């Protein structure tokens, strides 16, 4: 089922000028903050901002006809995130109680079922993030994108399972690093950087010592090697090329991509199309280029509902995707190149056919003036 809505950055919502209705219920810590369908006002926007929520789905005039398709519904996503959060918090509180590997395995199987039951997969990143939950959401996102990539690599179910368990736990070592250093907004000192770079080994040791017989060696290698780089410039062991375990090479790409596209205390998220270019540009340098190309071949560059500027100066909203060219979607024009508002005319441009036009950039604004 599709909904007529789009994802917007709440900093650009202007409730005085336009009407917005919430497209999806927003919850935080299991508590509903705002219900689907509610009309947004200044106070609501302020509250969302305070809760660290920066992107929401809205139904407004320009979103008419836009269909959002998702492999994993936000409801299921947030439930899984809460499971990861709960598990990680248990480790933080008491290492001896720690993880319940049955719960981890079940979560992985749930994601796998969702992804494999949807044959028509292409990766659309969940942008409804909460900065305070970075580690949990990051872990879940990396597990999801690793699974996508594993499916593209035609891994069997057993292999996919090992890949996802390792990916879900790849940063578990960060639980043992001082949060003040992890979340430091300014530049890190050499000592602080070294401290953070211990996390693959800390995670590997924690898992080996406590769950050695409940977790496959391949999953553990992902934890240990996910920061090794193709050219040998990574850590902890400066492995290079195919000496890095293949599943860790997958995790390295998905990890970098998710980190770039999330908001951190020290920087804003990079738009998906730019993060994709970044990953591509580092193929054979930091990343396994073949795997990177495969991963990128399924990444939606401009999500439905994004406002974009075309190379002729006109502006429009991404209406639907061309599955054979995810950087050339179908656009509904909103503003002509001369600057006139033309949304009501229902003019569509298929960038697969209009070969001389391309998307120059994605606009952050949700309004067009
Ligand atoms: Fe990491
Ligand atoms: Fe990571």
Residue 1: predicted pLDDT: 34
Worst-scoring range by mean pLDDT, 44-58, 77-91, 131-145? 44-58
Identify which of 3-17, 92-106, 141-155 has the greatest average pLDDT: 141-155
Residue 303: predicted pLDDT: 85
What does DSSP say about strands 55-59 and 6-9: parallel, antiparallel, or unpaired?
A: antiparallel
Supply the pTM of this predicted model: 0.85
The pLDDT tens digits of the residues spanning 213-270 come to 899 999 999 999 999 999 999 999 999 999 999 999 999 999 999 999 887 777 778 8
Instruction: Provide the 8-state DSSP code for 62.
Output: G
Ligand 2 centre and the CA of 135: distance in Å? 8
pLDDT at 61 over 90: no
Ligand 2 centre and the CA of 141: distance in Å? 10
The pLDDT tens digits of the residues spanning 294-330 come to 999 988 899 888 889 999 999 999 988 898 888 999 9
Q: What is the C-alpha separation between 160 and 146, in angstroms, rounded?
A: 9
The pLDDT tens digits of the residues spanning 197-209 come to 999 999 999 999 9
Q: Which residues contact 302 (CB under 8 A, 6 or more apart)?
A: 272, 273, 308, 318, 327, 329, 359, 362
Residue 119: predicted pLDDT: 60
Ligand 2 centre and the CA of 25: distance in Å? 28
The mean predicted confidence, pLDDT, of the chain is 89
The pLDDT tens digits of the residues spanning 174-192 come to 999 999 998 887 789 999 9
Mean pLDDT for the stretch of residues 94-102: 82
Ligand 2 centre and the CA of 350: distance in Å? 36
Q: 294 and 153 in contact (C-beta within 8 Å)?
A: yes
Domains of the chain: 6-63 (3.90.105), 74-296 (1.10.3210.10), 307-363 (no CATH)
Ligand 2 centre and the CA of 169: distance in Å? 9
Identify which ligand lies nearest to the alpha carbon of 204.
1
Mean pLDDT for the stretch of residues 157-166: 97
Q: What is the C-alpha separation between 57 and 36, in angstroms, rounded?
A: 9
Name residues with Cβ closer than 5 Å to ligand 1, which is an ion.
Answer: 171
Ligand 1 centre and the CA of 76: distance in Å? 25
Other CB atoms within 10 Å distance of the CB of residue 225: 25
Q: 126 and 141 in contact (C-beta within 8 Å)?
A: yes
């Amino acid at each position: 089922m599709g909904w007529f809505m789009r994802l917007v950055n709440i900093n650009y919502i202007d409730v005085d000028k336009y009407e917005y209705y919430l497209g999806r219920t927003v919850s935080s810590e299991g508590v509903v903050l705002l219900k689907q369908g509610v009309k947004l006002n200044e106070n609501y926007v302020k509250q969302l901002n305070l809760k660290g929520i920066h992107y929401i789905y809205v139904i407004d005039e320009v979103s008419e006809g836009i269909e959002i398709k998702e492999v994993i519904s936000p409801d299921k996503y947030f439930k899984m995130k809460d499971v990861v959060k709960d598990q990680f918090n248990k480790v933080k509180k008491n290492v001896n109680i720690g993880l319940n590997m049955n719960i981890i395995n079940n979560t992985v199987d749930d994601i796998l079922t969702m992804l494999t039951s949807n044959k028509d997969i292409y990766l659309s990143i969940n942008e409804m993030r909460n900065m305070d939950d970075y580690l949990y959401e990051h872990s879940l996102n990396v597990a999801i994108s690793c699974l996508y990539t594993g499916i593209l690599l035609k891994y069997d179910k057993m292999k996919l399972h090992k890949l996802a368990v390792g990916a879900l736990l790849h940063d578990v070592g960060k639980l043992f690093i001082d949060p003040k250093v992890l979340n430091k907004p300014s530049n890190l000192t050499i000592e602080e950087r070294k401290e953070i770079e211990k996390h693959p080994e800390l995670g590997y040791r924690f898992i080996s010592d406590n769950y050695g017989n409940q977790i496959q060696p391949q999953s553990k290698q992902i934890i240990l090697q996910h920061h090794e780089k193709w050219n040998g410039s990574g850590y902890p062991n400066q492995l290079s090329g195919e000496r890095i375990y293949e599943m860790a090479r997958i995790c390295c790409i998905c990890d970098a991509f998710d980190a770039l596209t999330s908001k951190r205390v020290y920087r804003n998220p990079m738009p998906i199309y730019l993060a994709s270019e970044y990953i591509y540009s580092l193929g054979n340098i930091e990343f396994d280029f073949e795997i990177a190309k495969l991963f990128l071949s399924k990444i939606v560059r401009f999500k439905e509902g994004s406002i974009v500027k075309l190379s002729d100066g006109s502006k429009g909203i991404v209406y639907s995707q061309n599955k054979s060219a995810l950087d050339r979607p179908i656009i509904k024009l909103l503003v002509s190149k001369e600057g006139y508002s033309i949304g009501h005319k229902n003019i569509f441009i298929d960038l697969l056919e209009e070969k001389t036009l391309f998307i120059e950039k994605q606009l952050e604004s949700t309004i067009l003036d």
